[in-house]
Amino acid sequence: MQADPLHILKSVFGYDSFRGLQEEVIHHVVAGGDALVLMPTGGGKSLCYQVPALCRPGVAVVVSPLIALMQDQVETLRQLGVKAAALNSTLSFAETIEISRQMRAGELDLVYVAPERLLQPAFLDQLARCSLSLFAIDEAHCVSQWGHDFRPEYLQIAAVAERFPGVPRIALTATADGPTQREIVERLHLTEGREFVAGFDRPNIRYRVGLKATPKQQLLRFIQEEHRGDAGVIYCQSRAKVEDTATWLREQGVEALAYHAGLDKTVRAANQDKFLREDGLVMVATIAFGMGIDKPDVRFVAHLDLPKSLEAYYQETGRAGRDGLPSQAWMVYGVQDVARVRQMIEASEASDDKKAIERHKLNALLGFCETARCRRQVLLEYFGDSCAPCGNCDTCLEPVETFDGTQAAQMALSAIYRTGQRYGSQHVIDVLRGQTTERVRSLGHHRLPTFGVGSDWSEADWKSMLRQLVALGHVLVDIDGHGGLFLGPDVRPVLRGEAKVAFRKDPSAKAKRSRDSQR
Ligand code: ADP
Ligand code: ZN
């Protein structure tokens, strides 16, 4: 017989109610379904498999990549009276034997294992002699080859799907954009399962993105007018820029510290310590700063350079306002930054596939920067979450200047359609602008009716409009292939002229204008 999840939640964990999507996930898994769960850190992922593990008969096998994390979880569970153990390399032979015996005898509710162990044939044979309640795969993004935490052992986890087809599997992670989610589903054979995406919103953070004109002055004004005496973090791309910005801010009367990997270890530690202990300090840093730093009252996170991706942006800005009080994520960017990041991608040693993914990530980030929609919507949708226009981001508070881009959008959509929905933005733009490149000619695309219809727009205009179409969901990117563009599911009304498309006025032109007006 299966126990009731709510009863388990109350009697074992001492909580009154489920949070967010926990209840839905738990019911799905208790009923034997597979699931992919995306929740930000602190969202309550553990209960999503711990409660089902106690509801269903048998032992739950939890795959976790970090031994320290495993020990913590097991310790916490034991204190709650749950029969849990960790099988890992720190155990003696006798201890290992004992845990194995308990598993077979049905004396354990949960056993945590490192992914390597799951690959051992002997361990799998042993599992075959146990009654299993479920498999939980924590930090599931480790299966993604494109991610920063790739673990080859994770690729083998799919084998348990074949060996134990009747046992539900639940994969959990805090960081996975659309392509990574699809990769997890594919590699862990979760195609029959459900995806649960939840709680990425940080409603107390106000998102603002502006164009770079005189960045240091813009930053200083932002601090002086809105964050005098507040703690904040300022991210810069290079060490030199960190030093330079911190020194300059101090000269302007802002108490600023520097942090980057090139600083002497003791200086770095001292600065970090000071920032955490004292009130109202500003930390100017490279991305080396921030991992595992939990300062609740950081009131703003500023970016003087573009982050690497929207995931990085979300993570870095997420360090603001952990206490739930109003906070700001502020960023300025310019066309030069975009060129710099593009160059870095092209010059890197990465494979072509990986470069394609990085280009896509950059475009998604630029789509966010250039959007005329609610920024929070664009950000959350990138993670598969959603929200109503938030009223707490710059585009909501001060609607941006837009122009009616319906006709341009129709041109772009039909060019994508007529070229077969498989080419990247450069080729589509060549067709739109009537450029007879070798590729255009060899494919016969110069004979298409859309060839050259968009020649009034510059290449940069089209790039920006295509990114905005991606941010609007009208154009999708085949990221598993070679970055080919294809039409989104809801483009019909646009093509028929029943729905309008608003584009933000060309941001690079605007940046140029504001630079000129300062001369
Ligand atoms: P994650 O693994 O997603 O980072 P955890 O599972 O560690 O998050 O949960 C974060 C915190 O929230 C923990 O302290 C946990 O006890 C608490 N928590 C989770 N679910 C609930 C709930 N339904 N009610 C109250 N507290 C909860
Ligand atoms: Zn908004």
Report the separation in Å between the CA atom of 138 and the middle of ligand 1, taken as the mean of its atom positions: 14
389 and 399 Cβ atoms separated by less than 8 Å? no
pLDDT value of position 1: 55
Residue with tokens 């795969």: 137
For residue 72, what are its two tokens?
A: 């913590």
Task: Name which residue sits closest to atom 25 of ligand 1, judged by CA.
Answer: 15
Buried b (16+ CB within 10 A) or exposed e, 318-340: bbbbbeeeebbbbbbbbeebbee
Q: What is the DSSP letter of 249?
A: H
Question: Tell me: the pLDDT tens digits for 320-336?
Answer: 998 889 999 999 998 77
Is the distance from CB of 510 to CB of 372 less than 8 angstroms?
A: no
Map tokens 């599992």 to a residue. 127
Burial of 239 (0-12, 13-18, 19+ CB in 10 A): middle
Ligand 1 in contact with 22 (CB < 6 A)? yes
Burial letters 446-483, b for 16+ CB under 10 A, else e: eebebbebbeebeeebbbbbbbbbbbbebbbbbbeeeb
Q: What one-character DSSP code corresponds to residue 393?
A: B
Ligand that lies nearest to the alpha carbon of residue 18, given by its number in the listed order: 1
Pocket test of ligand 1: the residue of 13, 50, 77, 315 to mutate, having most ligand atoms within 8 Å of its CB, is 13
Report how far ligand 2's centroid is from the alpha carbon of 311 (Å).
Answer: 18
* Least confident span in 297-311, 387-401, 453-467, 476-490: 476-490
User: What is the three-state SS of 152-205?
Assistant: HHHHHHHHHHHHCCCCCEEEEECCCCHHHHHHHHHHCCCCCCEEEECCCCCCCE
Two structure tokens written together for 186 = 């594919």
Which residue is closest in CA terms to ligand 1's atom 24? 15
Question: Which atom of ligand 1 is closest in space to residue 17's alpha carbon?
Answer: 23
- pLDDT tens-digit profile of 452-509? 999 999 998 998 899 888 878 899 887 666 778 999 888 999 999 999 999 988 654 4
With DSSP H G I counted as helix, E B as strand and the rest as coil, what are the percentages for the chain, rounded to 5? 45, 15, 40
CB-based contacts of 42: which residues, under 8 Å, 6+ apart? Answer: none
The widest CA-to-CA distance across the chain, in whole angstroms, is: 80
423: number of CA atoms within 13 Å, CB side? 21
Rounded to an integer, what distance in angstroms lies between the CA atom of residue 458 and that of residue 468?
15
Confidence (pLDDT) at 344:
86
Percentage of the residues of the chain whose pLDDT score is greater than 90 = 67
Contact 52, 30 (CB under 8 A): yes
**pLDDT per residue over 127-178, tens digit each?**
999 999 999 999 999 998 776 678 888 988 888 888 999 999 999 998 888 7
Pocket test for ligand 1, best of 9, 12, 17, 19 (most atoms within 8 A of CB): 19
Q: What value does the mean pLDDT of the chain take?
A: 90
How much distance in Å is there from the Cα of 373 to the middle of ligand 2? 7
Distance CA 379, CA 328 (A): 15
Q: What is the pTM of this model?
A: 0.73
Q: What is the 3-state secondary structure (H, E, C) of 263-290?
A: CCHHHHHHHHHHHHHCCCCEEEECCCCC
pLDDT level of residue 519 (50, 70, 90 thresholds): very low
Query: Please, which pLDDT band fits residue 50 given cuts at 50, 70 and 90?
Result: very high
Whether 68 and 94 have beta carbons less than 8 Å apart is answered as: no
Q: In terms of pLDDT, which residue wins out, 461 or 299?
A: 299
pLDDT in the model for residue 114: 92
**pLDDT value of position 419:** 96
Q: How far apart are CA 398 and CA 495, in angstroms?
A: 29
pLDDT confidence of residue 479:
63
Mean pLDDT of 260-280: 94
In this predicted structure, the answer to whether residue 99 has a pLDDT above a threshold of 60 is yes
**More confident call, 43 vs 38:** 38
Q: Which residues contact 441 (CB under 8 A, 6 or more apart)?
A: none
Question: Does residue 76 line the site of ligand 1, with CB under 6 A?
Answer: no
Q: What is the pLDDT of residue 235?
A: 97
pLDDT of residue 328: 98
Is the CB of 44 within 6 Å of ligand 1?
yes
DSSP state of 235: E
Please compute the mean of the pLDDT values over residues 95-111 and round it to a whole number.
Answer: 95
Mean pLDDT over 374-388 rounds to 91
Q: Is the CB of 101 under 6 A from ligand 1?
A: no
Whole-number Å distance between alpha carbons of 78 and 99: 14
Here the tokens at position 38 are 């995306």
Cα–Cα distance, 69 to 352 (Å, whole number): 35
- Which of 7, 19, 21, 46 maximizes ligand 1 atoms within 8 Å of its Cβ, making it the mutation to test the pocket? 46
Which residue has its alpha carbon closest to ligand 1 atom 19?
A: 44
Q: Which of 427, 425, 317, 309 is nearest to 366 (CA)?
A: 309
Fill in the amino acid letter for 258.
A
When computed from its CA atoms, the radius of gyration of the chain, rounded to whole angstroms, is 26
- Indicate the pairing of strand 205-211 with strand 327-333: parallel
**Please, are residues 181 and 152 in contact by the beta-carbon 8 Å criterion?**
no
Distance 399 CA to ligand 2 centre (A): 10
Residues 88 and 238: their CA atoms lie apart, in Å, by 40
Give the span between the Cα atoms of 474 and 469, in whole angstroms: 5
Nearest to 275 by CA among 254, 261, 251, 258: 258
Q: Whose CA is nearest to atom 12 of ligand 1?
A: 44
Task: Calculate how far, in angstroms, residue 396's C-alpha sits from the geometric centre of ligand 2.
Answer: 4
Task: Tell me the pLDDT tens digit for each residue of 411-456.
Answer: 999 999 999 999 988 999 999 999 999 999 999 999 999 999 999 9
* pLDDT over threshold 80, residue 511: no
Is the C-beta atom of 150 inside 6 A of ligand 1?
no
How far is Cα 41 from Cα 38, in angstroms, rounded to an integer? 9
Which pLDDT score, from 0 to 100, does residue 292 have? Answer: 65
